[in-house]
Amino acid sequence: MTAVCFSMNAKHAERFLNQSRGIAACFVHLQIARACLLHELGLRNDSALNLEADQIASNLCFLFVAPTEKSKRVSRFRKWRKAMSRIKPLKRQDIPELEPFLSASEERMGFVPNSQLIMAYKPKLLQAFTQLGQAVHDPANKTPRQLRTLVAHMASKSAGCQYCVAHTGESAHNANVEDQKIAAVGQYETSPFFSEAERAALRFAQRAAAVPNAVTDEDFATLRKCYSDEEIVELVAVTAYFGFLNRWNDTLATELESSPLNFAQCTLSDSGWSAGKHSPQEKTQEAAAGKDGPCE
C-alpha cells in the first residue's frame, strides 16, 4: 500500500476516493484510496476527513462484481450478510413483562426498534436505558426538540452508525425539520439552512462524537455564546445517549426497521447514506444499496 501511495499524486488520490464513494468498491480499493489521500495531502490528523473516509468504509455493503452477474451478486451478498455478527431480536409477544417499556418507545417513535428488542435479553438494561431516554428527551428541556434531533443526527453521522443515522434522520423529520435541511447536515458549515447557533451545536456534536474526542475549549466558548450551561448539558446528554446507541447498533449490525429504512433511502441516499450491514436480511443487494421502497 505504501508503494501505491507514493506513486500517486494528491489529485489522483482524491479522484480515486471520489470513485470509491460512487460505486460498490472492494474494501482494499477503498482503504488504498483513503490512505493515499491522507498521505499525499498530509492530513492524517484532519478529523473531519478521517471521519468521512471511515464513514465511507462503514457504508460498504458488497464486493466488486460485474454488473451482468446478477445471480452471483445476490449470492455473494447473502453469504456476506450471513457472516456478520448478529444477535436476533426477541419477539415482542415473548416478553410481555417488558411491554410498558416497549410501548413507551412505540408511542414516541411509531414502532418498537430492534435495538431494544435485543436489549430485552437483559431486562434491567432495557428498563434503565428506557428511563435514560425519557430523561434525555424530556419535553421540559430548554433546547428545542428540532435542535436535539439534528444534534443526534450529526453525532450518529460522526460516529458512522448508519442505523442511527436513519433513525435520527426520521426523528428530525417527525419533529418537523425540513427534509432538505436533514439531508444537508453534513454541509452545516456552509449550508444556508442553518443558523449560527445551529452550526455551533452541530460542530460541537460532530467533534464530541469523534474518536478520540475532538472538542476544544474554543468549541465550548463558541457554544456558550448561544446556549446556557443547562442547554449545553442537554446537548451533551443527547450526544452521549446516542454514543451508546451508535456503539450498540454498529457492533450488533442491528437490522433496520421499514420506517427509518424507507426514510433514509428516500431522503439521505443522495448524500451518501446506505444501509450496508443494517439492511434487512430478506432484502436483496439492490435494496441494501437504497434502491427500493416508495418515496412520497
Closest CA to 250 of 160, 173, 116, 121: 160
pLDDT digits (tens, 9 = 90+) for 161-177: 999 999 999 999 999 99
Task: List the single range of 142-151, 181-190, 209-218, 273-282 with lowest mean pLDDT.
Answer: 273-282
Q: For residue 62, name the pLDDT band (cuts at 50, 70, 90).
A: very low
The C-alpha atoms of residue 172 and residue 182 are separated, in whole angstroms, by: 7
Q: Which residue has the cell 433546547?
A: 143
List, for residues 267-278, the tens digit of each pLDDT value: 999 999 999 999
Cβ distance 19 to 56 under 8 Å?
no
Which is it for the CA torsion 135, 139, 144, 148, positive or negative?
positive
User: Among 192, 180, 167, 190, which residue's Cα sits nearest to residue 264?
Assistant: 167
Confidence of residue 218 (pLDDT cuts 50, 70, 90): very high
Where is pLDDT greater, at 25 or 220? Answer: 220
Q: What is the pLDDT of residues 80-111, one digit of tens each?
A: 444 344 899 999 999 999 999 999 889 888 99
User: pLDDT per residue over 107-133, tens digit each?
Assistant: 888 999 999 999 999 999 999 999 999
